Amino acid sequence: MKPRIISDSSCDLPINFLEKDGIDFSIVPLKIIVGDHEFIDDESLNTKELIAAMKAHKTASSSACPSPEDFAVELRKNKESYVIAMTSGLSGTYNSARVAKNMVLEEDDSLKISLFDTLSTSPFMILVIMQLRDFIKAGTMDFETICQKLTSYQETLNLRFLLQDLSNLVKSGRMNRVAGIVASALSIMPIFRSDNNGEIQLVSKARGIKKALSNLANMVEEKVKTHPQFPVVITHCNNLSQAEILKDLLEKRFNLKEIYIFPMHGLTTYYSNDKGLLMAF
């Protein structure tokens, strides 16, 4: 029986992404709560409606991770399963998957289940899923070897993200209100990274979008020196035009394997807000 790849909705992939590869793929949705409105982060969610609701609501919104049973339902479907989860530093999603794994193995200890805490999100997760797909399709490695190789691959990846609307950071207390107002007024755009513990760190500030996109593209340069021909994934929140500008900058400066662009789903929109850009490489 073929293996199943399971992820959560912060991976920002369409549910049919692996259909042509003949690999079973499941996405377990998170929820975003804005006031008394609950948005389920599945294919039916409209991110523009979510953004409008967050802007209209004056206090911080919140997210809710999937339950262990949500993951368990998917884990029971195949003899081998790989779970690619968003960072445990921001969400309880990975822990829910871990509880689900223990539940399901108590029911049937012949199953093979591996969990991956990506310590990241969105485009980073997409790269991990793409590499896992390639390992499975090659058909040359057993389950344990694939897990080892995928862990090593994950350690080579990086995430950077550019935020243009800081209001959610201010509402949630992650940024001082005055600093947020000043940054917005001066068109200062911060670029962040996710560190090895899944924590968010500021790495750059730019005045204006042109300089910010240039800075973002430059961050790939260090890896090019040691890892030629690697793929890049860009995800965006209602911002295809700037995602394509970033892609063009990367193509002009570096000889990369491939550059992919995907729209964000609900959970990543909740964190990055309108016009946000994430890049993994």
Same CATH fold, 159-280 and 4-30+65-154?
no
The pLDDT value recorded for residue 164 is 87
Separation in Å, CA 149 to CA 22, 26, 163, 262: 21, 22, 32, 25
The pLDDT value recorded for residue 59 is 80
The pLDDT value recorded for residue 219 is 94
The pLDDT value recorded for residue 185 is 45
Placement of tokens 């800081």 in the chain? 166
Backbone dihedral angles phi then psi of residue 197, each to the nearest 5 degrees: -105, 5
- Which CATH superfamily, name and number, covers 4-30+65-154? Dihydroxyacetone kinase; domain 1 (3.40.50.10440)
159-280: CATH architecture: 2-Layer Sandwich (3.30)
The pLDDT value recorded for residue 190 is 85
What is the residue extent of each domain of the chain? 4-30+65-154, 159-280
H-helix segments, the chain = 47-56, 68-75, 93-107, 122-138, 143-154, 167-171, 177-185, 209-218, 221-226, 240-253, 266-272
Divide the 281 residues of the chain into consecutive groups of 10 and give the mean pLDDT of each group.
94 95 97 95 96 88 95 98 94 97 98 97 98 96 97 96 78 50 59 76 87 95 88 98 98 94 96 94 96
The pLDDT value recorded for residue 80 is 98
